[in-house]
């Protein structure tokens, strides 16, 4: 299986390391040999070689020099779009950064890849949250797979559980803690930290960006609940359609009031059927001990599916991280391998 | 897809009802038409018609008369084995009762079905817990599918999550609350009920059998942890290999001691690698608030997979019930439909 990788930051490098470290297991257990034939990154540079790249060399090189420009051989300097156009890879892995307003540059990469009959595995939420219908229809028309497990809770298999594990069920609602940064901050505030202290801690631990807006204002969770609603509840929504209130307005007093009676305030992303429509929201919500999401603390994430056949099914796991997402991208590649074997 | 159903008790009838009630959705969403061509049950009787049975009529009949013998048309009186031999079904659903000592009569049904090139979906733990290697190898040799999601946590997709959702991960350990009856009893004992009161309540609510040995002595959970260990950790174990201690010896004092400091005693089924081997146990275990299984109370069940790529991934859901298992059997049929499409 020839793979082109667009985006060679933390996630892209983790993915590369995982497929290298696991190559024997992949051969033995899944009869799969993954060959990386292109890497393209706006900062780290780009190299394409249809005969396969030396993965170890590439990782060492970017570690030492910060770029892949020094790689011996291959075609250099192609941007993401040109890499997708030129590569003979069967699968394009899209691991560039998320932009929930335009979806770019990922959206163009995914469109180009699917349009030219390549499977796509995306960790980038932007294209999937903004153009779900267009992209899934394009994939179906071209008879290729579009997989995006890593867009929600990194590699924790929540989409696969919803789509395949719960096949045949009607999913009536989805409720989730889909942002680890805010869940960490709320947990710290329960323990007495102020909002500013909790934010500074989250930033110093690398959970929150210097500009934390996407997390604390609920945009990140909004992108994810839209993906879940579209994929599992036949909705056709965009992040801007989500009723959204972040955690910036929550006072320590409110949190104390909840914890005093054993409740917790969580930033809950929700999708539910109201009349004939699917309504989505991201709102600070008071949860009782009985709720399966109550115990999900720190940076952990979780999703509860309410189904007609099984009642509540909850998946709890990590929601972020380079190695986690790298592994998740591999799980998606294996799903494609299985489906096309 | 022609289906023969062996076992027409609570689970078998629920399955039949589900495929009938969901026939439009199955056609629209999955392009699947399921035709029931045989039913065989040691108590309710048996009928086989290669042209398809009238599902509504069959359900009404068994409701009214307690047997299918009055069904008009079809071949009557075949036992499970003869039904499997005679039917032209592509899939055999095995939903007879679990026997964790011999696996029978299910084991013979599954062997016969796979041996004659039929896919098998089993809710019966016996054959899978006792003859996992033999049956999966037979299925692989015959190029048919053997699916058994409902053997662990009824239809809650824990096996599919482990095998497919976590594809590419190494699963280092599995820990679960796999028996709803004992979890309910422990929850009630936390609330002050004595063991005998808790057992009587569980029996009156239909959670526990008149003879509760399989639940309270941990046999049921042992069968399930063996299935998980064999399917996800390449083990080759049988229920008798499991270190096992049930909940009969737990005193209210022990429970109170735990709850006083915020802990809980749970009956935990565990599989872990020790040296080169997989060790399994079912033991009353004290859990702290931080453990993802701590909050799983009442009849709910859960499994935590410890993985190399994602850390802990936990799935929480119901662990028993006719309608739940009926839905789970359908999910497995859909997986076969997808894999063979």
* Active-site residue, A224 included: yes
Q: What is the pLDDT of residues B189-215, one digit of tens each?
A: 999 999 999 999 999 999 988 889 999
Contact criterion met (CB < 8 Å) for A310 and B156 = yes
Give residues 266 to 305 of B whose Cβ lies within 8 Å of A. 289-290, 292, 294-295, 297
Of A165, A170, A334, the CB nearest to B160: A165
Q: Are A299 and A216 in contact (CB under 8 A)?
A: no
Burial class (CB in 10 A: 0-12, 13-18, 19+), B298: middle
Contact criterion met (CB < 8 Å) for A294 and B294 = no
Using the predicted structure, report yes or no on whether residue A324 has a pLDDT greater than 90: yes
Euclidean distance between CA atoms A42 and B21, whole angstroms = 53
Give residues 73 to 112 of A whose Cβ lies within 8 Å of B. none
ipTM for this model: 0.95
Q: Does B160 contact chain A (CB < 8 Å)?
A: yes
Q: Does B327 contact chain A (CB < 8 Å)?
A: yes
pLDDT of residue B175: 98
Euclidean distance between CA atoms A289 and A292, whole angstroms = 8
Q: What is the pLDDT of residues B242-277, one digit of tens each?
A: 999 999 999 999 999 999 999 999 999 999 999 889
Contacts of A171 in chain B (CB under 8 A): none
Reported residue count of chain B is: 341
Contact criterion met (CB < 8 Å) for A310 and B295 = no
Q: How far is CA B234 from CA A29, B89, B132, B282, in A?
A: 11, 31, 11, 19
Rounded-to-5 percentages of helix, strand, coil across chain A: 45, 20, 35
The pLDDT of B53-68, averaged and rounded, is: 96
Q: What is the pLDDT of residues A283-323, one digit of tens each?
A: 999 999 889 999 999 999 999 999 999 999 999 999 989 99
Neighbours of A262 (CB within 10 A): 9
Q: Which two tokens stand for residue B162?
A: 């482990």
CA B330 to chain centre: 13
> Which residue segments constitute the domains of chain A, with CATH numbers given?
2-155+322-340 (3.40.50.720), 161-318 (3.30.360.10)
Q: Are A91 and A1 in contact (CB under 8 A)?
A: yes
pLDDT of residue A210: 85
Euclidean distance between CA atoms A329 and A9, whole angstroms = 14
Strand spans (E) along B45-135:
45-48, 75-76, 91-94, 119-122
| Strands B91-94 vs B75-76: parallel, antiparallel or unpaired | unpaired
Please tell me which residue of chain A has the smallest CA distance to B315: A315
pLDDT more than 90, % of chain B: 96
pLDDT of residue A209: 84
The overall average pLDDT reported for chain A is 96
- When scoring A1, A149, A167 by the number of chain B Cβ atoms within 10 A, the one with the most, hence best to mutate, is A167
Please tell me which residue of chain B has the smallest CA distance to A306: B317
CA angle centred on A239, ends A233 and A243, rounded to 5°: 85
pLDDT of residue A144: 98
Q: How far is CA A14 from CA A69, A123, A126, A153, A328, in A?
A: 19, 12, 20, 16, 10
Contacts of A143 in chain B (CB under 8 A): none
Contacts of B292 in chain A (CB under 8 A): 295, 316
List the catalytic residue out of B2, B44, B118, B224.
Answer: B224
Euclidean distance between CA atoms A53 and A195, whole angstroms = 47
pLDDT band at A186 (very low <50, low <70, confident <90, very high): very high
Q: Does B338 contact chain A (CB < 8 Å)?
A: yes
- When scoring A30, A31, A121, A310 by the number of chain B Cβ atoms within 10 A, the one with the most, hence best to mutate, is A310
Euclidean distance between CA atoms A223 and A129, whole angstroms = 6
Contact criterion met (CB < 8 Å) for A327 and B169 = yes
Please tell me which residue of chain A has the smallest CA distance to B15: A309
Q: How far is CA B162 from CA A31, A278, B159, B172, B227, in A?
A: 19, 30, 5, 12, 12
Using the predicted structure, report yes or no on whether residue B93 has a pLDDT greater than 90: yes
Using the predicted structure, report yes or no on whether residue B162 has a pLDDT greater than 90: yes
Contact criterion met (CB < 8 Å) for B164 and A160 = yes
Return the axis-axis angle of helices A10-21 and A322-340, rounded to nearest 10°.
60
Global pTM value: 0.96
Please tell me which residue of chain A has the smallest CA distance to B302: A314
Please tell me which residue of chain A has the smallest CA distance to B24: A168
Q: What is the pLDDT of residues B100-153, one digit of tens each?
A: 999 999 999 999 999 999 999 999 999 999 999 999 999 999 999 999 999 999
pLDDT more than 70, % of chain A: 100
């Amino acid at each position: 299986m020839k793979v082109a990788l667009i985006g060679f930051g933390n996630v892209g490098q983790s993915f590369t390391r995982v497929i290298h470290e696991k190559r024997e297991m992949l051969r033995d257990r899944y009869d799969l040999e993954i060959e990386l034939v292109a890497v393209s990154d706006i900062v780290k540079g780009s190299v394409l070689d249809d005969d396969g790249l030396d993965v170890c060399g590439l990782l060492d090189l970017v570690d030492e020099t910060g770029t892949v420009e020094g790689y011996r051989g291959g075609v250099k300097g192609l941007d993401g779009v040109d890499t997708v156009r030129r590569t003979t890879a069967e699968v394009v892995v899209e691991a560039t950064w998320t932009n929930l307003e335009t979806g770019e540059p990922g959206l163009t990469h995914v469109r180009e890849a699917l349009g030219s009959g390549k499977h796509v595995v995306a960790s980038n939420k932007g294209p999937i949250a903004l153009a779900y219908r267009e992209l899934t229809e394009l994939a179906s028309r071209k008879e290729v797979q579009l997989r995006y497990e890593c867009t929600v809770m990194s590699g924790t298999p929540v989409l696969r559980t919803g789509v395949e594990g719960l096949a045949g069920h009607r999913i009536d609602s989805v409720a989730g803690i889909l942002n680890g940064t805010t869940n960490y901050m709320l947990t710290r505030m329960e323990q007495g930290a102020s909002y500013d202290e909790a934010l500074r801690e989250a930033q110093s631990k690398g959970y929150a960006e210097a500009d934390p807006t996407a997390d604390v204002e609920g945009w990140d969770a909004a992108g994810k609940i839209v993906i879940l609603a579209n994929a599992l509840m036949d909705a056709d929504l965009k992040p801007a359609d989500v009723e959204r209130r972040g955690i910036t307005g929550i006072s320590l007093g409110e949190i104390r009031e909840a914890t005093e009676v054993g409740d917790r305030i969580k930033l809950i992303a929700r999708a539910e059927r109201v009349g004939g429509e699917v309504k989505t929201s991201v709102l600070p919500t008071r949860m009782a001990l009985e709720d399966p999401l109550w115990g999900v603390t720190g940076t952990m994430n979780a999703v509860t599916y309410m189904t007609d056949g099984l009642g509540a099914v909850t998946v709890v796991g990590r929601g972020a991280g380079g190695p986690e997402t790298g592994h998740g991208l591999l799980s998606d590649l294996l799903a494609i391998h299985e489906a096309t074997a």
